[in-house]
Amino acid sequence: MTSDPLPPLTRRGVPIDPTLRVLALGTLINRAGAGALVTTFALFFTREVGLHPAQVGVALSLGALVGMLVQVPGGHLGDVRGPREVLRVATIATGVATLGLLVARPLWALIVVMALINAADAVSNSVRNGYVARIAVGGQGVRFKAYLRAITNVAMGLGALLGGVALAIDRPWAYLAVFVLDAGTSILAGLLFTRLPHLEPAPPRADGEPRLAVLRDAPFVLVTLLTGVVSMHFVVMEVGIPLWISEHTEAPTALVAVLLIINTSLVALFQVRLSLGSDTVARSAREMLRGALWIAGGFAVIGLTDGLARVAAIALLVVGSCVHVVGEMISSGGQWGVSMGLAPAERQGQYQGFAGLGFGLANVVAPTLVTLLCITWGRPGWFVMGGLIVGAAIALRPVTTWALATREKYGAATASG
């Protein structure tokens, strides 16, 4: 791992950079509300409203699809209108749309509300990522992203505790209070983002320049697809682990919660430190491969738990999850370094929005693939899944070399057509 030549990021855990302080506080406030919502959402609409779980799943899936569709145009809007201004409006709009959950009872109404929430949130995420990439270049940008991810994990954990209180009360008013809380935190975060420094919008497009230049940037598109394959490991842990524990091991299902706590705690503690090597595109690609090897190692350990005695299975599941989260943190830093390093400075919004599509596609493809490989096939499927992720990371290195060689071409296109 390379040494860190950059100045300290924090003092006593608080960001030294004033812009990062505002972003971190806004993220902490906003994601705490989201953590509470995630904990209670499905139970409220199935148990209190009476929708079938499959109907709730449809609403979530369609909402996520809408979010994917607006990511790139939303990031582009931030580029041309000013990222601070669009970020503020989109974050507040997310909170306002969340209030619709208070009255959404028929399935069609829930679908509409989830589409609005996901659309506004996707725009907010794309613009925020582009904003970070513009204010903090190189390794500093990766460190900013790493710190914000650590803050996100802390916030989601705190929010989950608040959601747990609502679950313990188990009354309609308690669930509705969580929805109001999430809406309020989004609105408050949006108002807080007013304190961010203003960044000038991107210069007008030249004659003949495409509106969404990233769609014609073939190397970046391929990079995004490959990073999306690597990011399938998130779905493996979210979907594969619970099903694996319940169907293939003697471990108690409560271990799922323990592993989640271990994961979020380690990310909060070590994400910044394990992202320090991703300060250039070439190094970031190497870090993604290193992270992928850790991830595959974690999957191999988890796959060995099939048929083991209870105590042995628990021990190996904990070890495998810890090995995986090391790879998760290393590869996340690498992905940020690659996506930010290859994007033209004045088009960071649309490029970071497009980079997010890799995760979106992984969320569409991975659940079925994970179920077929890791759950239906069993132990060999974990090795194959790890192999797919390592293979994508290996392919990423020559592709990023190709992408770097074309930056002058695509950078000039976005600047002057």
Establish if 8 belongs to a structural domain: no
pLDDT at residue 208 in the model: 58
223 and 98 in a common domain: no
- State the CATH number of the domain containing residue 221: 1.20.1250.20
Establish if 10 belongs to a structural domain: no
Domain encompassing residue 233: 213-416
What pLDDT digit, counting tens, does each position of 400-411 carry?
999 999 986 665
330 and 298 in a common domain: yes
∠ Cα 26 180 111 (to 5°): 100
**All residues at 6 or more sequence positions from 403 whose CB lies less than 8 Å from its CB, including other chains:** 219, 220, 222, 223, 281, 342
Angle between helices 18-43 and 138-169 (to 10 degrees): 30
220 and 148 in a common domain: no
What confidence category does residue 256 fall into, taking pLDDT thresholds of 50, 70 and 90?
Answer: confident
Establish if 69 belongs to a structural domain: yes
298 and 182 in a common domain: no
370 and 243 in a common domain: yes
- Which residues does residue 10 pair with via DSSP β-bridges, in sequence order? 15
190 and 221 in a common domain: no
For residues 131 and 129, give the distance between their C-alpha atoms in angstroms, rounded to a whole number. 5
Say if residue 146's pLDDT is above 80. yes
pLDDT at residue 209 in the model: 65
User: Could you say which of 166, 195, 224 is where a domain stops?
Assistant: 195
For residues 66 and 130, give the distance between their C-alpha atoms in angstroms, rounded to a whole number. 20
State how many domains the chain has: 2
pLDDT at residue 415 in the model: 35
What pLDDT digit, counting tens, does each position of 308-345 carry?
999 999 999 999 999 999 999 999 999 999 999 998 88
Q: Which of helix, strand or coil describes residue 14?
A: strand
User: Could you say which of 195, 222, 237 is where a domain stops?
Assistant: 195
For residues 408 and 406, give the distance between their C-alpha atoms in angstroms, rounded to a whole number. 6
Please indicate whether residue 4 or residue 264 has the higher confidence score (pLDDT).
Answer: 264
Please say whether the beta carbons of 374 and 252 come within 8 A. Answer: no
385 and 247 in a common domain: yes
166 and 238 in a common domain: no
For residues 84 and 69, give the distance between their C-alpha atoms in angstroms, rounded to a whole number. 21
For residues 211 and 323, give the distance between their C-alpha atoms in angstroms, rounded to a whole number. 43
Please say whether the beta carbons of 122 and 138 come within 8 A. Answer: no
Establish if 5 belongs to a structural domain: no
Establish if 390 belongs to a structural domain: yes
Tell me the range of 136-150, 230-244, 282-296 where mean pLDDT is highest.
282-296
Establish if 201 belongs to a structural domain: no
pTM value is: 0.83
Please say whether the beta carbons of 352 and 126 come within 8 A. Answer: yes
78 and 36 in a common domain: yes
Establish if 139 belongs to a structural domain: yes
For residues 321 and 152, give the distance between their C-alpha atoms in angstroms, rounded to a whole number. 20
Establish if 324 belongs to a structural domain: yes
Angle between helices 407-416 and 379-405 (to 10 degrees): 70
The Cβ of residue 401 has, within 10 Å, a number of other Cβ atoms equal to 13
User: Could you say which of 138, 163, 195 is where a domain stops?
Assistant: 195
What DSSP element (H or E) covers 11? strand 10-11
